[in-house]
């Protein structure tokens, strides 16, 4: 059985607060990026994500996660060996647990203006999705199951 994981030591911080307060995430292999935001008043706003600019890598794959209507929904529960990703809530919010093997940080992803970097060896869980939550993820490689670390014990071994 996997080693039991403790809850985040740093409490939950919202993405909006994190950026407003200029606070660093307390974990490695992560970070926050800001989309290019073009207020196009009075009829909306355009948010732009460009490879190697807002998104710090070449984008090879984009996927979305939708219909997160079950209150007990739980996604993630893995890390990647190599894959670099940026995850955004285009609409609504969700709670993202980040764990680099030594430190944990819980982030409420609650703004479409920003994305959270998931760079390789970072364990992540996603929970507490608002009913309207729509997630978009940019990735630097095609889907490859061999890149997933799906057991927490193996993750801890690799991050020792």
Active site residues: 78
Q: Which is nearer to ligand T46, 45 or 81 (CB)?
A: 81
Q: Which is nearer to ligand T46, 18 or 97 (CB)?
A: 97
CA distances in angstroms from 78 to 18, 74, 126, 149, 150, listed in the order given: 24, 12, 10, 5, 5
In angstroms, how far apart are the furthest CA atoms of the chain?
A: 55
Residues of this chain that interact with ligand T46 (CB under 6 A) are 63, 65, 75-76, 85, 87, 118, 137, 143
Q: Kindly give the pairing relationship between strand 12-14 and strand 104-109.
A: parallel
Q: Which is nearer to ligand T46, 87 or 117 (CB)?
A: 87
CB proximity list for 133: less than 8 A, separation 6 or greater: 68, 89, 91, 92, 93, 94
CB proximity list for 81: less than 8 A, separation 6 or greater: 120, 121, 146, 147, 148, 149, 158
Distance CA 117, CA 101 (A): 16
Q: Which is nearer to ligand T46, 16 or 75 (CB)?
A: 75
């Amino acid at each position: 059985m996997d080693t039991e994981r403790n809850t985040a030591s740093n409490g939950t911080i919202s993405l909006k607060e994190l950026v407003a307060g200029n606070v660093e995430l307390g974990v490695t292999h992560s970070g926050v990026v800001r989309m290019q935001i073009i207020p196009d008043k009075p009829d909306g706003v355009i948010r732009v994500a460009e490879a190697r600019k807002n998104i710090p890598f070449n984008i090879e794959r984009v996927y979305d996660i939708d219909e997160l209507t079950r209150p007990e929904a739980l996604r993630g529960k893995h890390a990647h060996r190599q894959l670099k990703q940026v995850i955004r809530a285009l609409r609504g919010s969700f709670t993202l647990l980040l764990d680099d093997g030594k430190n944990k940080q819980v982030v409420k992803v609650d703004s479409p203006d920003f994305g959270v970097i998931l760079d390789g060896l970072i364990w992540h869980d996603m929970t507490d999705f608002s009913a309207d939550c729509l997630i978009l993820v940019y990735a630097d490689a095609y889907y490859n199951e061999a890149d997933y670390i799906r057991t927490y014990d193996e993750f801890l071994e690799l991050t020792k």
